[in-house]
Structure 1
Amino acid sequence: MTLTLFKHGKLYGEWATKGDSVIVQNGIIQAIGQARELELQLSGKEYDTVDWEDAYVLPGLTDSHMHLSMHGMKLAMLDFTSATSKEEMLDMLRKRVAVTPPGEWILGLNWNENAFIPVEIPTLSELDAITDQHPVYLTRTCFHTFLANSEAFRRAGIGENTPDPASGAYGRNADGQLNGLIYEEASTAFTSVQPEPDYSVKKDAIRRACLDALRLGLTAAHTEDLRFLGSVDTMQRIYRELREEGIAFRTHQLIYHPFMEEARAQGLRAGDGNEWFKIGAVKMFADGAIGGRTALLSAPYSDAPHTSGMAIQPQPELNQMVAAVRAAGFPVAVHAIGDGAAHMILTAMEAHALTEESGLPDRLIHGQVLTADLVKRMAKLPLIADIQPRFVASDFPWVLDRVGEERTEYLYAWKKLLSAGIPCAGGSDAPIEPLDPFLGMHAAVTRTKPGETHEGYLPDEKLDIHEAIHLFTIGSAVAAGEADERGAMAVGKAADFTVIDRDLSERPQALLDVKARMTVVNGMVAYRA
């Protein structure tokens, strides 16, 4: 039996004035108190000691919504996060073209025209001018809009006369000519002709992401990887092998809807697994994203009155999908950004109630544009609001032009969700946003971008620091059906600790500079700075 004394830490919460040390046995907290008294309890026993050296100790942080596979790929891809103009983005592309053999795909991600001065998206002709020897496929920061050059369109078999798919679209100029933009599931034609990563590439991506998460102080993540990994078998094998190789990181796996039958055929149900790897809800999409105006609103966009966005499937089909998930014994986790999409999925949830045998709550993921009525309906259902506070820093102020003043009362309304009694879990949606949980907390507490000093965007929705920490601890544990096992520093709960270099209660701006000094998972030091 592994017995460890973790001592000399500044503990978070109720233990701040009661203790500085923790006894852990076999991954479970056995006692909390002062170092001297715990050392007396351990007299005559063999145990290891880990000195926290007066660092600040939080319950282990968990990201409730991200994509480990794509975050791992991002770390090795052309990443436009830092680009501040169209010209800078194109220059980054030129440099990648210069070192890429002709004929190979060039993949990039995280471009965001709303961060460019002026606000401009590269055109098809500008991409073609850089290369006609490489297919270029660039993913917007929302992962719902894409940009490609003519060679990529040629390989995808998409021409001027190709009709739009049912759940997507090809962007066109006023004269009807393709403009290089691709929306939602129209992207399938492009991804299906890209080379399939082999097993080692997939495993390396997950490894990179897990190690990066531990470096940032995360002890666990709720992730959806099947669109990249390609099978439930591959997903299980990779995470099993990484654990056997010594990576101590917990994952809660959402099952992308097209893979539900494979999971069901293997006898898997929500909640199955062990302390390192568990099966979660079935992931579905109800709409797209606000940036590309594909999030489904109940009324037209204020800055584009010709569209209200896009439903990924009509209501009857969504109802049928939820009914099938219920029949398989799973909860659902549904991407719904616009109020139109939230109405659709709540209608489906109400029509097909979650049963106790599902084991876990449903999730409404994102919920960025809501209404008072939708919040009331959410509060009556056994669901979690799976929110991403960092979206505030990325989407304001331009999102105000998209939705208009009349929809701001319930815009990124995290405080109202909590006040309504709706359990909320906090995630990053990495690689769309930075994986760093403290950046998410900063956005939740200040409602500003880093460096801004105003009172915040819609400041009534600010959370206090304890509410922000709650999102990434107890909130995430509730979402995974693990509130009795982890999420708080208490005897009998899992020994997961995020050990950091500063006091989060001093000032909100400190959140921007936090560094993890140690990450402890299941009683093991998984990362040490």
Structure 2
Amino acid sequence: MKTAIYNGKVYIERGHFEQAVLISDGIIEKVGTNEDILACASQDCEVIDADGKTILPGFNDSHLHLGSIGEWLTYANLSGATSIEDIVEIGKRFIEENPELVKQGLYGIGWNQDYFTDEKRILTRHDLDRISTDIPIVFERVCGHIVSANTKALEVGGITADTPQVDGGVFEIGDDGQPNGIFKENATYQITKVIPPHTFEKLEQLYIKAMEYAVSVGVTSVQSNDVRDHNYKEVFRLMHKLHDEGKLLVRYRHQFSFLDIENFKDFLATEFKDYRYDNKFLALGPLKLFKDGSLGARTALMRKGYLDDPGNYGVASLSDEQMDELCGLAVKNGIQVITHTIGDAAIDDTITNYERTMKEGKNSLRHGVVHCQITDLPILERVAKLDILVMVQPIFLNYDLHVVESRVGKDLASTSYAFHTLDKLGVHVAYGTDAPIEDCNPFFGVYSAVTRKDLNGFPERGFYPKECVDLEQAIDNYTIGSAYAEFLEDVKGRIKPGYWADLIILDRDIFTIPVDEIKDIKVDLTICNGKVVYRRV
């Protein structure tokens, strides 16, 4: 099957554009002028007129949660709440409108106390009890590192003041000596389990809906962390089913999380050996670890603590000993490791863990840090020296630029989210969104990296604008940079002969419009593996 796309502005690489592309059996066969490509088009070749529009490689989100994107479509959406009163009203309305869905409990996602105009505090059980005391309610903060539960949820989960705390997490005790409904980091799993999980059939529907949305915004590859200690058998089975039935609309690479060493060992003895991957549409990627929490929740691990919460240094989700054990077992089995690290202490400690597993100081497995937000120059130079892969989410600036200085101070804020410095130091950088923490629309991320403004255009000159990157660098980090994270930079992330045919046609020219309009770009057509998977009507 051949496809010829002509009359376009095809981005090849910095400073290099062509007019047309010839695709053969999912591979880019040739790029060149309209005349060259149309002359090569056979009689049965599909011909697409790009109408002069810009064509980019399909975007590759280096870290998100595809299943959770789908779940957002069925849970109570709390992201628009600007007060605790809003939260209560959203919860009540969701119960009223979805009586069958909430019979066994209500789950909500997306609240952020920093947006509250009444009280800027974390939700407690007393707030959620105002919604209902008859069904368990669990509301997850936008970052996913804090959940709040009502009294009924605590009762169903058997959580009391005498319940043991878990390693790498904590549930808070209120002034009355009882749990106040706030669960942080690893403790969140103690309470989220009170809400019954989706059926296998429902999960399949959610993943398909998430993929449909991803291709509509130009994402053709996802490196997705959906596998956790508690669900890994089910998720692996589901993804293989979607692959075998030809239902994958995007290329999918597993980022699998095991914080329990015994689960990791069980995986290595079973799924790791039993399943087969084509490494083209379905791949087994890295072990994904969690070293700390989030900046918004003040659980990111900080060397000097929080300026606005003295004495709080964050939460270590894994100890150095646990990290060494998990990393060592991964390396022994030839598995790449990436770790959630937001605070400067978490980044520094994780690099040290990696360094202990490297042979002759070489990062041959391309271990990486995900987020890499709060940094100073010595940390960044250390990342570069050890060739540590960095997976960043520029769209995080949309919220974080409003709070980071109050959390860590101006000096440290000025050297954080250091997109330009990372590129200047020669670090391998891959862009993503951590969706559904943020929308997986890549144009929001490109806009954030280029302007360092929030989605409302603030601040006018950008947040520490010395760390802005240029447009080509942002696009490359989102395409060929993310392909590097998968060891696929020779076949993915460019519109060049021999590369996989993943590309998108835009509704406007990203290279000539004002940079503030980048966030408004729409995708007219998405092609994955040479097949049209989305067309904007």
TM-score normalized by structure 1? 0.94
Q: Which moved more, 1:324-333 or 1:154-163?
A: 154-163
* Corresponding residue of 1:112: 112
Q: Which residue identity does 2:33 align to in structure 1?
A: Q
Contact preservation (8 Å) 1:501, 1:517 = yes
Contact preservation (8 Å) 1:444, 1:468 = yes
* Corresponding residue of 1:410: 415
Contact preservation (8 Å) 2:395, 2:445 = yes
CA RMSD of aligned residues (A): 2.4
Q: Which residue identity does 1:252 align to in structure 2?
A: R
Q: Which residue identity does 1:79 align to in structure 2?
A: N
Distance 1:144 1:354, change over 3 A: farther
CA distance in 1, matches of 2:304, 2:363: 34
Deviation, 1:445, is 1.3
Which residues in structure 2 correspond to 1:335-350 (within 5 Å)? Answer: 335-350=340-355
Q: Which residue identity does 2:104 align to in structure 1?
A: E
* Corresponding residue of 1:82: 80
Aligned pair partner of 1:516 in 502, 523, 533: 523
Question: Which digits, 9 at most, give the CA deviation of each residue in 1:282-306, with x for residues without a partner?
Answer: 0111111111111100111101112
Question: Which digits, 9 at most, give the CA deviation of each residue in 1:27-86, with x for residues without a partner?
Answer: 11111112222222336x532222222221001111110000011111221111222222
Deviation, 1:203, is 1.0
Deviation, 1:246, is 4.4
CA distance in 1, matches of 2:201, 2:18: 45
Q: Tell me, yes or no, if structure 1 residue 289 matches structure 2 residue 277.
A: no
* Corresponding residue of 2:193: 192
Q: Which moved more, 1:99-108 or 1:140-149?
A: 99-108
Contact preservation (8 Å) 2:291, 2:317 = yes
- Name the SS of the counterpart of 1:209 in structure 2: helix
Q: Which residue identity does 2:371 align to in structure 1?
A: H
Alignment coverage as a number of residue pairs: 527
Distance 1:359 1:520, change over 3 A: farther
* Corresponding residue of 2:315: 310
CA distance in 1, matches of 2:276, 2:343: 29
Contact preservation (8 Å) 1:330, 1:358 = no
Question: Which digits, 9 at most, give the CA deviation of each residue in 1:395-416, with x for residues without a partner?
Answer: 1211211111232232111111
Deviation, 1:163, is 3.8
Question: Which digits, 9 at most, give the CA deviation of each residue in 1:341-384, with x for residues without a partner?
Answer: 11111111111116999974111001111122221221122421
Question: Which digits, 9 at most, give the CA deviation of each residue in 1:107-157, with x for residues without a partner?
Answer: 000111112224244432221122101100011011000111000011111
Q: Tell me, yes or no, if structure 1 residue 170 matches structure 2 residue 176.
A: no
Distance 1:344 1:357, change over 3 A: closer
* Corresponding residue of 2:378: 373
* Corresponding residue of 2:282: 277
Distance 1:263 1:371, change over 3 A: same
Which residues in structure 2 correspond to 1:140-179 (within 5 Å)? Answer: 140-174=141-175, 176-179=177-180
- Name the SS of the counterpart of 2:228 in structure 1: helix
CA distance in 1, matches of 2:243, 2:229: 17
- Name the SS of the counterpart of 1:408 in structure 2: helix
* Corresponding residue of 1:128: 129
CA distance in 2, matches of 1:355, 1:211: 44
Q: Tell me, yes or no, if structure 1 residue 399 matches structure 2 residue 400.
A: no
* Corresponding residue of 1:498: 504
Contact preservation (8 Å) 1:247, 1:526 = no
Deviation, 1:432, is 0.5
Contact preservation (8 Å) 1:127, 1:148 = yes
* Corresponding residue of 1:27: 26
CA distance in 2, matches of 1:355, 1:430: 36
| Structure 2: segments with no counterpart, 5+ residues | none
Q: Which moved more, 1:281-290 or 1:455-464?
A: 455-464
Deviation, 1:241, is 2.7
CA distance in 1, matches of 2:360, 2:224: 23
Contact preservation (8 Å) 1:326, 1:354 = no
- Name the SS of the counterpart of 1:75 in structure 2: coil
Q: Tell me, yes or no, if structure 1 residue 449 matches structure 2 residue 454.
A: yes
Q: Which residue identity does 2:524 align to in structure 1?
A: R
* Corresponding residue of 1:56: 54
Aligned pair partner of 1:96 in 81, 94, 97: 94
CA distance in 2, matches of 1:200, 1:270: 21
CA distance in 1, matches of 2:426, 2:229: 35
* Corresponding residue of 2:474: 468
Contact preservation (8 Å) 2:160, 2:178 = no
CA distance in 2, matches of 1:487, 1:307: 42
Deviation, 1:229, is 8.3
CA distance in 2, matches of 1:16, 1:466: 9
Distance 1:139 1:304, change over 3 A: same
Distance 1:478 1:182, change over 3 A: same
| Structure 1: segments with no counterpart, 5+ residues | none
Contact preservation (8 Å) 2:13, 2:494 = no
Q: Tell me, yes or no, if structure 1 residue 423 matches structure 2 residue 428.
A: yes
Contact preservation (8 Å) 2:251, 2:280 = yes
Q: Which moved more, 1:343-352 or 1:13-22?
A: 13-22
Question: Alignment identity in percent?
Answer: 29
CA distance in 2, matches of 1:98, 1:489: 50
Deviation, 1:94, is 1.1
CA distance in 1, matches of 2:477, 2:319: 32
Contact preservation (8 Å) 1:90, 1:122 = no
CA distance in 2, matches of 1:104, 1:411: 43
* Corresponding residue of 2:265: 261
CA distance in 2, matches of 1:238, 1:466: 33
* Corresponding residue of 1:488: 494
Contact preservation (8 Å) 1:443, 1:449 = yes
Q: Which moved more, 1:321-330 or 1:357-366?
A: 357-366
CA distance in 2, matches of 1:16, 1:46: 33
Question: Which digits, 9 at most, give the CA deviation of each residue in 1:441-480, with x for residues without a partner?
Answer: 1111111111224111222111111111112111101111
Distance 1:209 1:228, change over 3 A: farther
Distance 1:507 1:307, change over 3 A: same
Contact preservation (8 Å) 2:355, 2:361 = no
Aligned pair partner of 2:324 in 298, 319, 333: 319
CA distance in 2, matches of 1:226, 1:262: 14
